[in-house]
Chains A and B, each alone.
Chain A
């Protein structure tokens, strides 16, 4: 197909429309047996006119090997440690470090050091767990916000919110990021056992922690941690999963004192 040479330069030229030639229709045009009428045509999604293009689209989707391009090289680097205070995790690729950082250190509550998958959940947590004004207000009005982004519903209690999440949004009843705030108090033996068994993941439950929190990773072996835990149990609520939390040691206690 030969295109006029001037066409290519017209493409990069200025926008503009041709001055239209005068239109002069004869009523005899389109009279039977002729029936042409200029008209725009639209096609719905399933029309067979689209078959070829749709098939090409799907071949593209299936053809991953030819499409996965320049995936950023993940070079191995000399081992390095996470720089966050108290975290000793070691990495040999930047990608694994990035994910670790975002999971455990990015959206961290400065009051209780719990980590959350998103800013939204962190904000909700701080509001509901650490804001005394919230407690007061919630006695008078519905303050517990639905966790689903885009849903503006508010509830009197966190239980009501959970019911809403399950019924209206089809969330699982044991949604990990919506555990109610447990009362603070001295650790009970039961709680201890529960916590350490959770850390071990014995009972097949979701491993590693409780109540809208994610522990910081640390390679300290378990027995030491339990011993550590007993030392501070009268200060730290039983709901905190220790397991390995060096960040819950001296530094965090100090910080919590500041906020209390």
Chain B
């Protein structure tokens, strides 16, 4: 079924703690980059087999003379093996940024490399492509831009047949795309979108994954919503992407991850989501969500959250489209198994990736907000209590859980009947005492709805009665007042509290 990805960690002498430390550093760097809108990440396709064969050599710095020597040998050597070896040595050197810089500044070097890339010697062609790939992985924009003369050929080769070569070209293109706008400005008129659209028909999974990567990099560009997404939507790519995301025995995790991210970038660009809906996007994504939840139940595969995240986002954003608003229409998502799948994923996130809980709950909000069906499902499948178990995770999660509960409660007495009495009350007492004003605010909203639709329920001692007050003085500050001590309020019977949240003043009378 799922050809999952196996972890093949190669610590290469590093201790686990060091790895974790490096990962934290990388994470911090990525967060910073994202805030500055400079999020760039590249994929390096360094063939494991090659690395092993070469004895895991460390990249060497090559000087001008050495580079020239290797290039000359590659171009004019008499023996084929010799020419190949020269390029291999060059490639190893190009793993080092210093060598990359020297290479691009050397006159005629790129021209020679492109010549080898387009030569009639198949194995030289492959090695030249590998050299180009190393260059494309550089973090220096100048190096990526120096590869521009090769792009028309890389695109031409995408309609070839050699799957390994195409894969290499795609990863190289993907790396170049993300590095600089200059590259994208050239690739678009050169026909990258039609080339990718033709290539997506390939039966090779490795090619498809590489294609998904390249396309996701293209769609992630800053100028994508105006310059790229429209032409992608105008091609045959959307239908094919949805086809590749169909759940079933042929679904491959690596391929699905890349195309799910492509779809996310397309959808959140808000260009023409109605088109995706008309191609059956909602039902495909819904089915895919079920599939992911099923896989989560069966295996311990840590990579599934990489797919779950973009699928959740796509579904959630698509649900906000007007085309979906038509009740009972063909575009409605009504299968309650989607809610089931979501809860299974929420449990999975809680264990493996708690930072994804807000996104999962966001989808739950979008599912339940305007849907009596899904609200009823939450009640009939006993999902309120599991939801409440998420409250302690964080303030953001609390607010979202309370919002979902409000979605249920606001639909009237028939719904509130199932919410109160029950485990909800003790939880609300806790959230009302939170130091986060948004949590408190959302708790009060929920309380108000509950009191409104269940006025006949009598409260035992210690239960608060909520009364909004109209205050004679302007309420322009946030504060708590009348607490028995510093910190959170303590609900003792016989005492009244005034709670000020935003501009609303409440009196809480504890019976």
Contacts and interface: CB of A to CB of B under 8 A. Distances in A.
* Real binding pair: yes
Interface of A: 1-4, 6-8, 10-13, 15-26, 28-30, 32-46, 48-62, 64-71, 73-74, 95-96, 98-100, 102-104, 106-107, 115, 117-121, 148-151, 168-172, 175-177, 200-202, 204-209, 214-217, 219
Nearest to B12: A65
A56 B290 CA distance: 22
B290 A204 contact: no
Contact of A21 (B335, B341, B379): B379
Given A25-B410, A60-B257, A61-B41, 9 more contacts: A52-B355, A54-B30, A103-B122, A107-B161, A118-B159, A172-B149, A201-B75, A204-B112, A208-B119
Contacts of B371: 20
Nearest to B191: A148
Nearest to A119: B159
B7 interface: yes
Contact of A121 (B108, B156, B163, B350): B156
Contacts of A42: 268, 270, 316-317, 320
Nearest to A62: B41
B95 to A, nearest CB: 13
A34 B410 CA distance: 12
Interface stretch (B96-104, B240-248, B446-454, B483-491): B446-454
6 nearest CB pairs, A to B:
A150-B194, A33-B504, A24-B412, A20-B372, A206-B115, A52-B355
A136 B169 CA distance: 38
Contacts of B86: none
A204 B108 contact: yes
Interface in B133-155: 149, 152-153
B122 A40 contact: no
B159 A71 contact: no
A149 B195 contact: yes
Contacts of A219: 80
A10 B380 contact: no
Contact of A175 (B152, B268, B355): B152
Given A45-B265, A71-B49, A102-B161, A24 B111 contact: no
B61 interface: no
A99 B406 contact: no
B210 interface: no
B34 A17 contact: no
A49 B369 contact: no
A68 B449 contact: no
Contacts of B186: 170
A8 B297 contact: yes
B306 interface: yes
Interface in B258-284: 261, 265, 268-270
B468 interface: yes
Contact of B152 (A13, A17, A34, A171): A171
Contacts of A55: 27, 30-31, 34
Contacts of A99: 122-123, 125-126, 162, 164-165
B268 A44 contact: yes
Interface residues of B, number: 144
Nearest to B501: A33
Given A21-B411, A34-B448, A119-B159, A7 B340 contact: yes
B164 A2 contact: no
Contacts, number: 333
Contacts of B457: none
Interface string B477-507: 0000000000000000000000000111110
Contacts of B225: 45
Nearest to A214: B120
A148 B157 CA distance: 12
B42 interface: yes
Nearest to B362: A41
A79 to B, nearest CB: 13
Contacts of A64: 43-46
Contacts of B114: 206
Contacts of A200: 76
Contacts of A11: 290, 293-294, 297, 337, 340-341, 344
Nearest to B217: A61
B271 to A, nearest CB: 11
Given A1-B389, A17-B334, A57-B306, A177 B340 contact: no
Contacts of A148: 190-191, 194
A40 B319 contact: yes
Given A11-B293, A96-B123, A177-B156, A26 B362 contact: no
Interface in B44-58: 44-49
Nearest to B293: A11
Interface in B324-378: 334-337, 340-341, 343-344, 346-347, 350, 353, 355-356, 358-359, 362, 365-366, 368-377
A1 B346 contact: yes
Interface in B398-440: 406-407, 410-415
Contact of A149 (B198, B414, B503): B198
Contact of A22 (B49, B290, B414): B414
Nearest to B137: A64
22 contacts: A6-B381, A10-B337, A13-B337, A26-B453, A33-B503, A40-B369, A45-B268, A52-B355, A56-B355, A58-B39, A65-B9, A99-B125, A117-B159, A149-B194, A150-B193, A150-B197, A172-B149, A201-B75, A205-B115, A207-B115, A208-B120, A219-B80
B305 interface: yes
B125 A46 contact: no
Given A204-B112, A219-B80, A61 B355 contact: no
